[in-house]
Amino acid sequence: MKLPEQVQSDRLRLQIMRLDHAPVLFALFDAERERLLRTMGGTTKTLTLEDQEKKLREFEERREEGKAFAYCIFLKQEDGPDLLAGTIGLHHVIDINRRGELGYWLGAEFEGQGLMSEAVTAMEQACWEAGFHHIQIRCAVHNRRSAAVPERLGYTLDGRIREAWFHLDEWHDELVFTKLQGE
């Protein structure tokens, strides 16, 4: 199963990540690093532009294998270039089960505007059209903003996995939300 290079919504353009996105991605990520460190793993692994480029090459390999699809979230602008607001991706794709896991983040200035709900809805539609049956969203229990997205969009809370995530030298519980095609 493959997802398109680009997914559109009213306010957003989701563009598959490319190597030429590295400078703008790294700039936003680096500006948000301290805030994201509390809720995202991997923030300590992307310390330079070269690290970002390496990560984008890995995403490209996984996309070619059909195992992951990482997108930049651009906020459309009438005047001037679209603004990078964050990222969203379908990861841990299991073809035989037609299942994948959505992960996402936004820059702080873009939060509270419904943009992530819009991005997740657009990704859902692309997934259903590609033949996926099951979408999962996982987040740390303490990440209430992230958990609010699947709650708002009608995902089912399948459960809480105790001490599923080791981050910043301590264990964290994880929430698992799912939506099936047709729900």
Q: How far apart are CA 140 and CA 172, in angstroms?
A: 6
Q: State the burial class of residue 111 (Cβ atoms within 10 Å of its Cβ: 0-12, 13-18, 19+).
A: middle
Using DSSP, how many helices (H) and how many strands (E) does the chain show?
4, 8
With cut-offs at 50, 70 and 90, classify the pLDDT of residue 170: confident
Q: For residue 168, is pLDDT > 90? A: no
Domain 6-180 coded CATH 3.40.50.720: no
Q: For residue 161, is pLDDT > 90? A: yes
Q: For residue 165, is pLDDT > 90? A: no
With cut-offs at 50, 70 and 90, classify the pLDDT of residue 1: confident
Contact 29, 53 (CB under 8 A): no
Q: How far apart are CA 107 and CA 33, in angstroms?
A: 10
With cut-offs at 50, 70 and 90, classify the pLDDT of residue 9: very high
